[in-house]
A and B are shown apart, each in its own frame.
Chain A
Amino acid sequence: MEKVRKNKRAVCIFLMPSVLLFTMIIMIPIFMSGYYSLLDWDGMTQGTFIGLKNYINLFTSPSAGFMKTLGNALLLALLSVIIQLPISLVLALLLAKGIRGEGFFVAVFFIPVLISTVVIGQLWLKIYNPEYGIINMTLHFFGLDSYARTWLGDKKTVLLAVFIPILWQYVGYHMLLMYAGIKSVPPELKEAAKIDGANLWKVNRYVIIPMIKPVIRICVIFAVTGSLKAFDLIYVLTNGGPSHASEVPSTLMVDMIFGRNRYGFGSTIAIFIIFLCFFFALVIKKFFKTEEL
């Protein structure tokens, strides 16, 4: 057996496809992106090495507009944590009590998660349509014409209009994770708390929520890093417009690289997005650790 398990040639053969794909598509490109981010490069001519200048420009150049996109992404992250996750938690708590039709509701709430973001984006484009969209039609129906507007074309409303479908789509995902977490809390704990006179609210607050903290931590990390990476729905709904009002780092990155041929600066944004994701994941983990002490 030992001899069979130490077969060096087998190791190489088994690992080859994965290692090859992983190095070619993930490892080498990360280093390449890191290198590109230090260049002033349009993709056609030879790039010039400019050190950290692109990174400085991220924060200081108002014409690049990165700070605004970062602000938008952080706002989305904040809204996810204070609106989306609480909705998911309430739904999960209600469902996990063991009511009739539990499985049905879980299945239904999860449907939006599975549907392609392009489909969801196109659907919401129709819902927001200024002339024939459901929202404005409903407002007209109730005589609230003054509230009707071009939701996605108005700088004041566009951010909110873009964020609503994003928040809506993933409620079901977080709900499912939390629901599974609550289901794995041993029922004896709940029973014991009830015998001690705790009402439902207290059982939830002092028994269940502390028990599912690891799941909540995962949800917060997903919600925040997902917001920092958000691309699909915004690309479909507005592509960052009108006049960059709903731009987020990812749409700006794609626009810089593939729209304006600023390969160097675009790569800087890419690297910075990755850095932010790792940074926030670490901070959130730390935060939950200190909470526990």
Chain B
Amino acid sequence: MKHKNSKRRLPIFTYLVLGFWTFISLFPLYFMLTFSLKSNKEIFGENIIGLPREWLWSNYEAALTTGNMLKYFFNSFIVTGCTIALTLMASLMASYALTRLIWKGRKTLNQIFMLGLTVPIHAAILPVFIMLRNLRMTNSYQALIIPYTAFALAMAIMICESFIENIPVELEEAACMDGCGVYRIFFQIILPLMKPAFSTIAIFTFLQAWNELMFAVIFISDSNYRTLSVGIQTLSGSYTTEWGPIGAALVIATFPTLLIYIFMSKKIQDSLIAGAVKG
């Protein structure tokens, strides 16, 4: 009897804890979503945490137009998109050479790449800044795309290698007997089979590039090239008294991430687990 009782009480306790943490996790987001639709009057006293009484979509309009969020969003999109494409291309090619081609020093090179997993961006920020300045490349999309790609490579190569190892060598051998050269083997056999790796790498790279702040703050000062993270900082500086448009800007910046997460939550979780456990 006693045993049964404790078994029944247990889930209640469990759900209390989990429910509490759900609240803690989601409350700031709920707060963001609601105040993005409110007027100052509601936020500052009348209706602090309730649902908006009057849905002020004009906050979004203000953020997108006068707040320049449309431009920042576009910039983030370009930078992130190019970073993902470049990372995919470079890492797929490199990991093929590192796992399947035979040459001296490939183990050493692989280890050097893996060191990149632990090097923080602090190591590079000043020299890369000086390099960009000398090349007159600060305030451009490349100023972010190139460093982001370089720092995403180590993880991407590691993920690619673990996928390539699962592709049977016999496939390549068969193609080779049919007279395929190394490039055709790579493009027609390896690439199509590596598709599952694409999304894992894209997820990692997306999160890294979309949310990055330190490089973006330092390499970009021209508002034409500001990404969302820097743009929001500027926006909050100019809208100190009006909270609504800032809330709208925060929602706009978060929206793509949440949208992707809703459709691919399992895949995203698995990617991050794989990345952490191997690294």
Do B18 and A95 touch (CB < 8 A)?
Answer: yes
A278 to chain B, nearest CB (A): 7
**In the assembled complex, which residues on chain A have CB atoms less than 8 Å from the CB atom of B124?**
25-26, 29-30, 33
Do B153 and A21 touch (CB < 8 A)?
Answer: yes
Do A97 and B93 touch (CB < 8 A)?
Answer: no
Q: How far is the CA of A2 from the CA of B172 in the complex (A)?
A: 11
Do A274 and B122 touch (CB < 8 A)?
Answer: yes
Chain B interface SS verdict (over half): helix
Q: Provided the pairs A36-B127, A126-B243 are in contact, do residues A14 and B21 lie with their beta carbons within 8 angstroms?
A: no
Do B176 and A115 touch (CB < 8 A)?
Answer: no
Within 8 A of B (CB), among A107-137: 107-120, 122-127, 131-132, 134, 137
**In the assembled complex, which residues on chain A have CB atoms less than 8 Å from the CB atom of B116?**
22, 26
B129 to chain A, nearest CB (A): 8
Size class of the contact patch on chain B: 35 or more
Do A137 and B48 touch (CB < 8 A)?
Answer: yes
Q: Provided the pairs A36-B127, A267-B126 are in contact, do residues A21 and B31 lie with their beta carbons within 8 angstroms?
A: no
Do B213 and A117 touch (CB < 8 A)?
Answer: yes
* B91 contacts the other chain (CB 8 A): yes
Do B153 and A1 touch (CB < 8 A)?
Answer: no
Do B123 and A270 touch (CB < 8 A)?
Answer: yes
Q: Which of A15, A137, A218, A236 has the most CB of B within 10 A?
A: A15
Stretch at the interface among A51-59, A61-69, A170-178, A203-211: A170-178
A199 to B, closest residue via Cβ: B6
0/1 interface trace, chain B 20-33, chain A, CB 8 Å (1 if under): 01101110110110
Do A215 and B153 touch (CB < 8 A)?
Answer: no
* A254 contacts the other chain (CB 8 A): yes
Which one, B25, B153, B176, B228, contacts A111 given CB within 8 A?
A: B25
Within 8 A of B (CB), among A13-54: 13-15, 17-19, 21-22, 24-30, 32-33, 36, 43
* A198 contacts the other chain (CB 8 A): no
Q: How far is the CA of A254 from the CA of B213 in the complex (A)?
A: 12
**In the assembled complex, which residues on chain A have CB atoms less than 8 Å from the CB atom of B224?**
none
Within 8 A of A (CB), among B184-214: 185-186, 207, 210-211, 213-214
* A216 contacts the other chain (CB 8 A): no
Do B211 and A91 touch (CB < 8 A)?
Answer: no
Do A126 and B48 touch (CB < 8 A)?
Answer: no
Q: Provided the pairs A33-B127, A270-B126 are in contact, do residues A17 and B276 lie with their beta carbons within 8 angstroms?
A: no
B116 to A, closest residue via Cβ: A26
B106 to chain A, nearest CB (A): 8
A112 to B, closest residue via Cβ: B25
Do A122 and B246 touch (CB < 8 A)?
Answer: yes
Do A270 and B122 touch (CB < 8 A)?
Answer: yes
Within 8 A of A (CB), among B207-244: 207, 210-211, 213-214, 217-218, 228-229, 232-233, 236, 243
* A285 contacts the other chain (CB 8 A): no
B15 to A, closest residue via Cβ: A99
Q: How far is the CA of A82 from the CA of B277 in the complex (A)?
A: 21
B206 to A, closest residue via Cβ: A114
**In the assembled complex, which residues on chain A have CB atoms less than 8 Å from the CB atom of B180?**
4
Within 8 A of B (CB), among A131-173: 131-132, 134, 137, 168, 171-173
A34 to B, closest residue via Cβ: B123
**In the assembled complex, which residues on chain A have CB atoms less than 8 Å from the CB atom of B159?**
none
* B167 contacts the other chain (CB 8 A): no
Which one, B14, B31, B273, contacts A177 given CB within 8 A?
A: B273
* A185 contacts the other chain (CB 8 A): no
* B102 contacts the other chain (CB 8 A): yes
Q: Provided the pairs A15-B94, A229-B120 are in contact, do residues A25 and B150 lie with their beta carbons within 8 angstroms?
A: yes
Q: Which 9 A-B pairs have the closest CB atoms?
A: A25-B150, A29-B127, A18-B94, A14-B97, A32-B127, A29-B124, A116-B211, A17-B90, A118-B229
Please name 12 further chain A to chain B contacts, defined as beta carbons within 8 Å, in addition to the given A26-B116, A116-B257, A273-B120, sorted by A numbering.
A1-B177, A2-B102, A5-B182, A10-B182, A28-B127, A108-B22, A114-B258, A117-B213, A120-B28, A180-B277, A215-B277, A235-B217
23 CB contacts below 8 A, A to B, read A1-B177, A24-B131, A32-B127, A32-B130, A101-B18, A105-B18, A110-B265, A110-B269, A112-B28, A115-B258, A116-B253, A117-B213, A173-B272, A176-B273, A231-B214, A232-B213, A235-B213, A236-B213, A254-B217, A257-B125, A257-B126, A263-B126, A267-B126
